[in-house]
Amino acid sequence: MKKVIYLVFFSFILLTACGKKQAVIDRPAFSADSAYHYIETQMSFGPRVPNGQGHTDCVIYLVHQLRRFGADVTLQKGTMTDYSGRVQPVMNIIGRFNRSESASPVLLCAHYDTRPWCDQEEDYANRFMNVPGANDGASGVGVLLEVARQINMKEDLATPVDIVFFDCEDMGTPDFYTGEQRENTWCLGSQLFADEYLNREVRYQYGILLDMVGAPDARFPREYYSSQYAENYQERIWRTARDLGYGRYFEDRLSYPIVDDHYYLNLAGVPCVDIIHYDMQRSTGFPEWWHTRRDDMGNIDKSSLQAVGEVVMALL
């Protein structure tokens, strides 16, 4: 995930405005305990590697939960070509809430699959193990399941919302692969979704992608592609975070561009913002346990889940 980070050189812009009055907004309902439980349940299936039993069990669970929370659920099925040239089945899960003929929906999304290889492990033998995927995958899904539960309980929430769980986000070329290097091997589910979106009549107002949002002391800088394609919506999200008192999580600084699911949505015309943990002090940009066997529940913090969940709910 994050897949291929293009190390371009650009000036970091200091965006913090000193001395501004902080707005007072109602604190929306959101339960980090529930989000944490949804993450634990996903982890109980084992790694959700495409084509595996844990992946199948997770699909059944996510469909059931979305329907339980009142969503109209559909499965988008298709195939994409993976890094080695093989045909890979893809299954995106789409839950629709408050659909309206007069208003365009908001898109909320995360990926539910986990990486088949721990290719950031120091020991080469361990690189062929599956990533457990507590933060990298399950955290964003857990937050959005709680958002779905809250939407179902709010009779006065008229905003149309689509919650989409993308498949095969983490199937990109492993670091140890020495064969032909293909392009666009990450984010296969969102690529499939974006391709079909181009032929749809329904258009989204904007989108928010949640990726790796549960780490202790998480930091979400303003991702570069999000600024490039969806700057106004990104500013709205970061301003909402400040107003809720979560400015320490949502940092007012620009990160490197990250090829994540939002990238392909933006190319298809959906202005989408990536809320993703990124550490400018690390060479990879991601936590030391990223794409390793250590991406487990020990790396999930309820305070981070609460911050992200409240921001999303406030926007709705």
Cα dihedral sign, 24-27-28-32: positive
So what's the pLDDT on residue 1?
Answer: 56
Q: What is the CA radius of gyration of the chain?
A: 18
So what's the pLDDT on residue 101?
Answer: 81
Structure confidence by residue, pLDDT tens digits, 193-213:
999 999 888 899 999 999 999
Structure confidence by residue, pLDDT tens digits, 24-47:
578 999 999 999 999 999 999 999
For the chain, the average pLDDT equals 92
Whether the per-residue pLDDT at 271 is higher than 90: the answer is: yes
Whether the per-residue pLDDT at 14 is higher than 60: the answer is: no
In this predicted structure, which of 37-41, 101-105, 291-295 has the lowest mean pLDDT?
A: 101-105
- Give me the domains of the chain, ranges plus CATH numbers: 32-315 (3.40.630.10)
Task: Report how far apart, in Å, the C-alpha atoms of 80 and of each of 52, 74, 167, 193 are.
Answer: 17, 19, 11, 11
In this predicted structure, which of 6-20, 51-65, 142-156, 209-223 has the lowest mean pLDDT?
A: 6-20
Give the span between the Cα atoms of 190 and 131, in whole angstroms. 20
Which pTM does this prediction carry?
0.93
So what's the pLDDT on residue 127?
Answer: 97
So what's the pLDDT on residue 26?
Answer: 82
Closest to 118 (Cα-Cα) out of 180, 188, 186, 47:
47
The 10 Å Cβ neighbour count of residue 240 is: 20
What length does the chain have?
Answer: 316
Closest to 235 (Cα-Cα) out of 250, 246, 249:
250
Average pLDDT of 50-79?
98
In what helix (H) or strand (E) does residue 144 lie, and over which residues does it extend? helix 139-153
Q: CB of 115 within 8 A of CB of 277?
A: no
Average pLDDT of 260-285?
95
Residue 252 DSSP code: E
Count how many Cα atoms sit within 13 Å of the Cα of residue 88 in the half-sphere of its side chain. 27
Whether the per-residue pLDDT at 62 is higher than 80: the answer is: yes
So what's the pLDDT on residue 192?
Answer: 98
Percent of the chain clearing pLDDT 90 (strictly above)? 85
Structure confidence by residue, pLDDT tens digits, 121-156:
999 999 999 999 999 999 999 999 999 999 999 988
In what helix (H) or strand (E) does residue 40 lie, and over which residues does it extend? helix 32-44
Q: What does the angle CA 32 – CA 56 – CA 268 come to, to the nearest 5 degrees?
A: 75
- Residue 280 pLDDT grade (very low, low, confident, very high; cuts 50, 70, 90): confident
The 10 Å Cβ neighbour count of residue 115 is: 27
Q: CB of 110 within 8 A of CB of 104?
A: no
So what's the pLDDT on residue 23?
Answer: 56
Torsion angle of the four alpha carbons 139, 84, 59, 116, in this order, in degrees rounded to the nearest 10:
-50
- Residue 8 pLDDT grade (very low, low, confident, very high; cuts 50, 70, 90): very low
Average pLDDT of 155-171?
94
Residues near 151 by beta carbon (within 8 Å), at least 6 away in sequence: 69, 70, 97, 98, 157, 161, 316
Q: Is residue 56 exposed (0-12), middle (13-18) or buried (19+ Cβ within 10 Å)?
A: middle
Q: CB of 241 within 8 A of CB of 251?
A: no
Average pLDDT of 60-76?
98
